[in-house]
Structure 1
Amino acid sequence: MSNAISRAYKLFLKGYSLRAIAKIFKIPKSTLSYKFRKAYGADYAEQRNHWGLIPIIQEYTNDKSLSAKDRQQIRDWMNQNFNQIIESEKAHLDKPLYTNRKLQQLTELECSYRKGDWRSLFENTLTSTY
C-alpha cells in the first residue's frame, strides 16, 4: 500500500470527502475509491464513524472561544493519537456521540426549542411546574 493512499485514507477517516481528497492528491475520485476498496476492503466507507470522537474533536479545533494555542494542542494530540482514536471509532460504530451543534439541531428538530439544548428545556420545564 502506498504512503499516499494511507495518507488519503487518513483524511477520509477524518471526515474529508472523496472529492476533496481527490483534489488534494490530484487524482480522479473513481481511482481513489478503487484504491481504497483494494487496500481497505469493499466496506471501506463503513469504517468511518460519522457520529464518533473525530467530529467532536474537530468542533473543539474550530471553537473560536479557545485560544489558537489551545486549538493547536488539540490538533497535535489528535494527530499523535490518531491510530488509537480510529481503533476506538471502529469498535464503537453503533454508539453515537454527538457534537454540541448536532445536539442543538436535534433539539430544534424534535422539540422546536431554539433557545438552548434539550437539557435546559427539560430543566426549565421541571422548575416551572413546581
Structure 2
Amino acid sequence: MFEYVIELVVPSFEDVNTEDVKAEDGNPEDVSTEKLISGNFSTVTLATYNFNPGLEVGESVWISEHWGTWEDEPFNFEAVVTRYRKEIIPCRKSESKPDVFRIVIFLEAVEKDNLARMREIIRRLNSSNK
C-alpha cells in the first residue's frame, strides 16, 4: 500500500518569543531557519492521499486550512515543498493490514506572519489531546 502524507513544518519555539530575539544590530532576528535546521519544529498533517499529488521540491502550493475551534480564523497562505522522507511501515504479524510505503512531503510557509498564531493553536490542540 502507498500513502502520501503532506506535513506542514512549524517552528516550535517553546520558550522563545521571536519578537524578543534581537540580532547584533538591534533589529528583530528571524530565528525560524536556524531552529528548523537544528530540529526544533513541529509538523501538522494537512492531507493524506493514496496517489502521488505530484509535488516537487521547490514547488509552491496555496494552503487554505482551519485549525482549532470556530473562534479561530482560518489560515490562507503559500507554502513551498522543502523535502521528502520515505518510510516503510511494516504490519505486525498479528494484524491483517498490508505494509505501508509512505512518502512524507514537507512544506514550509513562505510568509512567516502566521507562525506565532499557528504555534499557539498547535500547542493548544496538543495540550487538549493529552
Same fold (TM over 0.5): no
Higher relative contact order (CA 8 A, sep 6+): 2
Q: Which has the higher helix share?
A: 1
- Output the TM-score relative to the length of structure 1: 0.22
Q: Which has the higher strand share?
A: 2
| Structure showing greater Rg | 1
